[in-house]
Amino acid sequence: MGTIDLAGTARSTAGQVADQGVGAVVAVLADGRSEIHGAGRTGADQGPPDSRTVFEIGSVTKVFTALVLARAVGDGQVALDEPLADLLPPGTRVPSRDGEQITLQHLATHTSGLPRLPRGMRIPALLRPGKPDPYAHCTPAVLLRGLATTRLGATPGTRFRYSNLGAGLLGLALARRAGTGYADLVADRLTRPLGLDDTAVGLVRPGRMAQGHTPRLRPTVPWDLAGLAGAGGLRSTAADLTAFLRAHLDPPAGWAAAAVRLARAVEHPQNPFARAHLGWFSHRLHAGQGGHLQVWHNGGTGGFASFAGFDPEKRVGAVVLGNTRRSVDREGFGLLRTLQDAYTA
């Protein structure tokens, strides 16, 4: 049993995040229970966000895309070592290096050698406060044309190199193999079966949408990511993300348990201390810090920040959502460690 006040811990962390931005919602899972609390403002003249307030979750989307991949592998629809080229339209030119082709596993573990962004995009385009979605022009056709002239920075499978482009292409490829679009794919294969009714691409819930804000706390416009939706296009709520983490701590029997196991089992070293799995990242803290295992992903868009993490050994988890473009990693990792220190398996 834990020795901390779960509700108070969630409430305090939400207040800390909101004090640095506009609003926040924090969820904690431990000892078979969960608590969700909000603080700050949902928008200009609105009260604090709550468990059902909709946020852009940015790159936490990548975990959902990777779990769709894991399910598709379990269902025999794709293979982890299947070349990306086999799932794209005939004639699509996919770069390779040293005779190695990009596979689906490479895309999900960021070891494809692909650059972070599509050809022609630059990091500064993502950092201009209040500007329209910088990915809006990245239609599937544009992405595939750019792929033909993209050079790989490393031989596939040899080096970790975080890539929004790779994750987006994974979403496109899986959708094409399933004969549908990415939004319908993630709904049919993942969110609907898990009961995550408030997690979707382009989700609109009138009266429940958080307003995004720039680092200077000015309202900003939504991001949808167009053809790269698999890299960061989902919107969700603290309630849904709590249920998503619970599905990783106590996966339902059947396809979900198999997909969660596969996603965790596949790994590639990021560095001597961290691993990339299918979607998730992980590291183990130094023994002096408790030696805890932290499995996590973060996200950010033009007006939002997110963190989701859990420890399958201590069986605890944490979600932090903010409606300001300011990282919530410090609060997320700190909250997760507080739970790990307080709870035993």
Q: How far apart are CA 69 and CA 168, in angstroms?
A: 13
From the number of C-beta atoms within 10 Å of its C-beta (0-12, 13-18, 19+), residue 77 rates as middle
- Show Cβ contacts of residue 103 under 8 Å, excluding neighbours closer than 6 positions: 80, 81, 82, 83, 84, 156, 157
- What tens digit of pLDDT does each residue of 287-323 get? 999 999 999 999 999 999 999 999 999 999 999 999 9
Whether the predicted model's global pTM rises above the 0.95 cut: yes
- Show Cβ contacts of residue 9 under 8 Å, excluding neighbours closer than 6 positions: 28, 35, 335, 338, 339
Q: How far apart are CA 43 and CA 54, in angstroms?
A: 12
Q: For residue 164, give the H/E element and its range.
A: helix 164-178
Query: Quick one: pLDDT at residue 1?
Result: 54
What six digits make up the tokens of 87? 């799932």
139-145, long-range: CB < 8 A, 24+ apart: 139/226, 139/227, 140/172, 140/227, 141/227, 142/118, 142/227, 143/118, 143/168, 143/169, 143/172, 143/227, 143/228, 144/88, 144/89, 144/92
Strand-strand pairing, 23-30 and 33-40: antiparallel
3-state secondary structure of 156: coil
Q: How far apart are CA 191 and CA 183, in angstroms?
A: 10
Q: How far apart are CA 286 and CA 273, in angstroms?
A: 10
Q: What is the total residue count of the chain?
A: 345
The secondary structure of 42-63 as a DSSP string is SSTT-----TT-BEE-GGGHHH
In terms of Cα–Cα distance, which of 129, 145, 287 is closest to 219? 129
Q: How far apart are CA 236 and CA 56, in angstroms?
A: 7
C-alpha triplet 274, 107, 146: angle, nearest 5°: 130
Which residues face 300 on adjacent strands?
305
Query: Quick one: pLDDT at residue 129?
Result: 67
Query: Quick one: pLDDT at residue 123?
Result: 73
List domains and CATH numbers for the chain: 6-342 (3.40.710.10)
Q: How many other C-beta atoms lie within 10 A of the C-beta of residue 234?
A: 32
Q: How far apart are the first and last CA of the chain?
A: 9
Query: Quick one: pLDDT at residue 67?
Result: 98
Strand order across the 305-311 sheet: 33-40, 23-30, 316-322, 305-311, 293-300, 281-284, 274-276, 268-271
From the number of C-beta atoms within 10 Å of its C-beta (0-12, 13-18, 19+), residue 222 rates as middle
Q: How many other C-beta atoms lie within 10 A of the C-beta of residue 261?
A: 13
Q: Which residues of the chain are modeled with pLDDT < 50? A: none
The secondary structure of 185-219 as a DSSP string is HHIIIIITTTT-TT-EET---TT-BPPPB-TTS-B
Q: How many other C-beta atoms lie within 10 A of the C-beta of residue 211?
A: 19
